[in-house]
Structure 1
Amino acid sequence: MPELIQIHDHGVVRELNMARAPVNALNPDLCVALREAIAAAVGSGAAGLVLSGRPKVFSAGLDVPHLLSLADRSALKAAWGEFFGAARALAESPVPVVAAIAGHAPAGGCVLALCCDYRIMASGPFRIGLNESQVGLAVPEGIQHLMRRVVGPHRAERLLVAGEMVEAERALSLGLVDELVDIDDVVPRAVHWLKALLELPRKPMLQTRALARADLAAALQPEAVPLDRFVDDWNDPDTQAGLRALVAKLGK
């Protein structure tokens, strides 16, 4: 079985490359592998992390066909729990994390990117955003907070309510991503940014970072992303119709 997370070391920086073909759909196995890879990297002394994805697709978000196959409520709740566990692992990482976004990042892919310290995206016709409302899902408060903290309350409201996906250039202008580079330079630039940050005095940098990101970790605690309500929304007939239409469209 292929490794779901491929590890590449760049000196003191470790790259965690999501490698679930074809589009890094976030099923429980990938989410668990990501959480474990973060813990292992930190435990082995990595000073910074780069989260990367597949060429032209960072992550296509949650594995909707897998979730639709789960008839049991507890299994569905557990699957969503693993996703939010992976997001929390990024948000609570004690070392800086850069999202190297060399392609599209809708929905859950965008959530993972928003949990990182810095986002570098490939320039070109790639899109990023939280498009949940387009398939009938309400975005929980904790995830809305992630968007508000990077683009501001009013702009976040407009993007979230419309479920808008924005192309790379607009994402940069909104502050949704921090830099655009050529697709082949996304990971090298992420490594370079991290290594420059790591040249700062370590303890005060990490202490300041922890204070600045405390709201991010708090936003992903269970009370801010109530799984029972999420499962209820998922099972709503309108949501199910929207999700099945999405799957049918993707299958064509």
Structure 2
Amino acid sequence: MSFIRITIEDRIAHVHLDRGKSNAIDQQMLEELGQAVVDAQENPAVEGLLLHGNEGFFSAGLDLIALYDYSEDEVRRFWHTFMDVIRKLVAFDKPAVAAISGHSPAGGCVLAICCDYRVMADGDFIIGLNEVPVGIIVPDSIFQLYRFWLGAAKAYHFLLEGRLLKPREALEAGLVDEVVDMRSIRTAAVRQLRKYTQYERNAWRQSKRNMRQQLIAAFDANQTEIIDAVLKQWWSPATRAILKTIIDNLKK
């Protein structure tokens, strides 16, 4: 794999996002992440998954610079892959913890909220779903995932405002579960995984599947219609203009 590093230590699969400094998500990274999740699910020697980013960036979300130049077919393939990978993470029935080691907006936040527990590094970082101000439609299944942790009212307002939260704000809102010093993030994440894995395996996993049943069903539903709406908005002049401005600023 080029952008995902996997190490297995003490029956924990450490899945490291490793695509440049910001871990921006493109097609290849998605495919590799999806395979890593499948491998961890199917490997009987793995009891849990720990999702890591880089110091300063868990993931900056979608790689807008790359996606802007994708063809219509490539963008459609990307969104179908993205929804499929999120579905794999949501349905992963072993314990999963995100070690959010920095900024985690948009797609980075989506990856994190698939997990059972989120430990975020303290500092001048942000997390949240800011797609709407960028001109990207948020699929209902992802809103349901956001609502699962925040509650309906907060998820509704935060999503429509594109609100990004600092670590302590995210903790207060319920978007993350723990805020620690950057030097302690791996230790705190492993400690939480160990809490989960100490329980009787079948009871824990079946309970997780039960509690996520509606979420899984939302991602199992046919995504074609919503992806068509996302793509129609993606190619609209208004969204393309917003994306171009963002990309120009990123390149600077």
Q: Give the TM-score of the pair, scaled to structure 2.
A: 0.95
Total equivalences in the alignment: 250
Amino acid at match of 1:24: N
Partner of 1:82 in structure 2?
A: 81
Compute the displacement of 1:222 (Å).
4.8
CA–CA separation in structure 2 for the residues paired with 1:198 and 1:19 = 26
2:69 counterpart of 1:69 = yes
Q: Are 1:10 and 1:191, in contact at CA under 8 Å, matched by a contact in 2?
A: no
Q: Are 2:136 and 2:233, in contact at CA under 8 Å, matched by a contact in 1?
A: yes
CA–CA separation in structure 2 for the residues paired with 1:118 and 1:148 = 15
Partner of 1:215 in structure 2?
A: 214
CA–CA separation in structure 1 for the residues paired with 2:73 and 2:216 = 25
CA–CA separation in structure 2 for the residues paired with 1:44 and 1:145 = 29
CA–CA separation in structure 2 for the residues paired with 1:175 and 1:224 = 28
Does the residue aligned with 1:166 lie in a helix, a strand or coil? coil
2:96 counterpart of 1:97 = yes
1:201-237 Cα offsets, whole Å, 9 max, x none, are 1111111111011122223235357211111111111
Partner of 2:52 in structure 1?
A: 52
2:35 counterpart of 1:42 = no
CA–CA separation in structure 1 for the residues paired with 2:184 and 2:89 = 23
Amino acid at match of 2:245: A
2:193 counterpart of 1:182 = no
Amino acid at match of 1:209: K
CA–CA separation in structure 2 for the residues paired with 1:102 and 1:57 = 6
Partner of 2:154 in structure 1?
A: 155
Q: Are 2:95 and 2:116, in contact at CA under 8 Å, matched by a contact in 1?
A: yes
Q: Are 1:26 and 1:83, in contact at CA under 8 Å, matched by a contact in 2?
A: no
Compute the displacement of 1:86 (Å).
1.6
Q: Are 2:117 and 2:176, in contact at CA under 8 Å, matched by a contact in 1?
A: yes
Compute the displacement of 1:171 (Å).
0.2
2:238 counterpart of 1:238 = yes
1:125-182 Cα offsets, whole Å, 9 max, x none, are 1100000111112222111111111111111111101101110000000000011111
Aligned residue runs from structure 1 range 192-203, under 5 A: 192-203=191-202
Query: Runs in 1 of length 4+ with deviation above 4 angstroms?
Result: none
CA–CA separation in structure 1 for the residues paired with 2:94 and 2:128 = 25
Q: Percent identity?
A: 36
Q: Are 1:6 and 1:18, in contact at CA under 8 Å, matched by a contact in 2?
A: yes
Aligned residue runs from structure 1 range 159-178, under 5 A: 159-178=158-177
Does the residue aligned with 1:8 lie in a helix, a strand or coil? strand
Q: Are 1:115 and 1:216, in contact at CA under 8 Å, matched by a contact in 2?
A: no
Q: Calculate the aligned-residue CA RMSD, in Å.
A: 1.4
CA–CA separation in structure 2 for the residues paired with 1:209 and 1:77 = 31
Amino acid at match of 1:246: I
Gapped regions of structure 2 (runs ≥ 5) = none
Further displaced range: 158-167 or 188-197: 188-197
Partner of 2:122 in structure 1?
A: 123
Amino acid at match of 1:14: A
CA–CA separation in structure 1 for the residues paired with 2:51 and 2:114 = 11
Q: Are 2:137 and 2:229, in contact at CA under 8 Å, matched by a contact in 1?
A: no
Compute the displacement of 1:9 (Å).
2.1
Amino acid at match of 1:247: I
CA–CA separation in structure 2 for the residues paired with 1:65 and 1:136 = 15
Amino acid at match of 1:249: N
Amino acid at match of 2:60: A
